[in-house]
Amino acid sequence: MSTLPSPERRLGADRFLCLRTNEWCAHGGVLRAFAAVSRLGDGVAWYVLMAAMILADGIDGLRASAHMAATGAIALLLYKGLKHWTRRPRPFAADVRIRAWIAPLDEFSFPSGHTLHAVSFSIVALAYYPELAWLLVPFTAMVALSRVVLGLHWPSDVLAATVIGSVLGGGTLWLGSQVPGVA
């Protein structure tokens, strides 16, 4: 006897969570907050962080920023390939009750590129600067949540992106530790 829920039950939970959180944006302040977090997660926050690392920490900051940039390039290839392969419709395209509160950056839903990047970038950045956890952990969680609340991703898209981003971030740290002179 399997303990995993059936595919129909998982889809039902995905839809239910997306519908309930999407309603939050009917309150203007909630919409503005999540739209701003989502916009920062487009790349703006990460570019600012990388520049700040270089300015604050010189060559060590450059090393961390280069590691983040390389991780981001791999993340981009991964999520674009997965989106093209899976072609999963976005929630607002699959259910007329779900509203896209902001325009999506592309057509498909799986996985969440914002979440994948946020998780992998945070893992790499925190390996170099663990004192930034107070900022990066909540920001990453808000980026992930924003994608569902704004009607752009199913919760399972965000969960999968969290797993992929974790493996990617951890994997690039491990690979970097295997190369002499890189860490």
Successive 10-residue mean pLDDT values, the chain, 183 residues: 52 83 86 93 94 96 95 94 91 88 88 96 96 97 95 94 97 76 54
Q: What DSSP string runs through 42-53?
A: IIIHHHHHHHHH
Instruction: For residues 133 and 127, give the distance between their C-alpha atoms in angstroms, rounded to a whole number.
Output: 10
Rg (CA), the chain: 17
108 three-state secondary structure: strand
**Fold topology of 27-178:** Vanadium-containing Chloroperoxidase; domain 2 (1.10.606)
Q: 3-class secondary structure for 119-150?
A: HHHHHHHHHHCHHHHHHHHHHHHHHHHHHHHC
What residue spans define the domains of the chain? Answer: 27-178
Range 55-60, long-range pairs (CB < 8 A, 24+ positions): 60/128
**Alpha-carbon torsion angle 95, 6, 119, 81, nearest 10:** -70
**Cα distances (angstroms) measured from residue 124 to each of 64, 66, 69:** 8, 10, 10
The reported pLDDT for the residue numbered 106 is 85
Instruction: For residues 160 and 170, give the distance between their C-alpha atoms in angstroms, rounded to a whole number.
Output: 15
The reported pLDDT for the residue numbered 7 is 47
Instruction: For residues 62 and 182, give the distance between their C-alpha atoms in angstroms, rounded to a whole number.
Output: 12
pTM, two decimals, is 0.88
108's tokens: 């498909």
